[in-house]
Amino acid sequence: DPCLAHPDRPPSPVNVTVTQLKANSATVSWDVPEGDVVIGYAILQQRQDGQMQRFIREVNTTNRACVLWDLAEDADYIIQVQSIGLYGESQASKRVHFRTLKETDRLPSNSSNQGDITMEGLDKDRQLQTGEIIIIVAVLLMWAVCLWAAVIALFCRQYDIIKDNDSNNNKEKTKPSSEHSTPERPSGGLLRSKKKSPSVNIIEV
């Protein structure tokens, strides 16, 4: 095929991995070496027992991942990925082997064949739940600290008000008694005229 022999066809994808393993689906992702023009990808998916084979091809995309649907539960699969360039397709990547889960499984089963890359699934849901719990606890702690700070500030303010009132009361008590005495008012009554002393006139003859 002259297209496959073209020197500008892209290199094979690298770091092909399978994650998010479930009973009927899985996600395959890969990397493309920098500097090469890639316009799409092709995935060869087949069951290890040979009962099913599927070829997925997509162009005009920069995606580096694809979700595999309608998988059989508790079954072994092999996938290979190719890059699609302007002048043809790359050689297929190394074979990647994975096994789907049973409906009752929470963690993926591990299996490997010589010459294959064995992928181990991770319990993403459990990790996500743990992260959410940590965030909730952190938010609650911050809320509690803010609440205590507000209570302490209110207490200090009330204490300052009480202290100021006590200080004012003490100042009032220390004033001279004359300042607190009631001025005397003149008692009522009839006005009395002053008695004049009798005058004696002496006339000398």
22 in the same domain as 106: yes
Instruction: Answer whether residue 200 is part of any domain.
Output: no
- The residue range of the domain holding 151 is 123-165
Nearest alpha carbon to residue 25 among 75, 63, 62: 75
Answer whether 0.85 is exceeded by the pTM: no
- How many domains in the chain? 2
Residue 165's region, left for phi above 0, alpha for psi from -120 to 50, else beta, is alpha
Q: What is the pLDDT of residues 88-144, one digit of tens each?
A: 999 999 999 999 999 887 554 444 444 444 444 445 555 656 777 888 888 888 888
pLDDT of residue 59: 94
Whether residue 111 sits in one domain with residue 31: yes
Q: Are residues 69 and 27 in the same domain?
A: yes
Residue 127 sits in the same domain as residue 101: no
* 118 and 18 in a common domain: yes
Q: Please check whether residues 55 and 87 belong to one and the same domain.
A: yes
In this structure, the answer to whether residues 117 and 147 fall within a common structural domain is no
Give a yes or no: residue 32 inside a domain: yes
Over residues 30-88, the pLDDT tens digits come to: 999 887 889 999 999 999 998 899 999 999 999 999 999 999 999 999 999 999 999 89
Phi, psi of 170 (to 5 degrees): -65, -35
What per-residue confidence (pLDDT) applies to 148? 86
User: 161 in the Ramachandran plot: left (φ > 0), alpha (ψ -120 to 50) or beta?
Assistant: alpha
Q: Is 120 left (phi over 0), alpha (psi -120 to 50) or beta?
A: beta
List b or e across 109-148, with b for residues whose CB sees 16 or more CB atoms inside 10 angstroms. Answer: eeeeeeebeebebeeeeeeeeeeeeeeeeeeeeeeeeeee
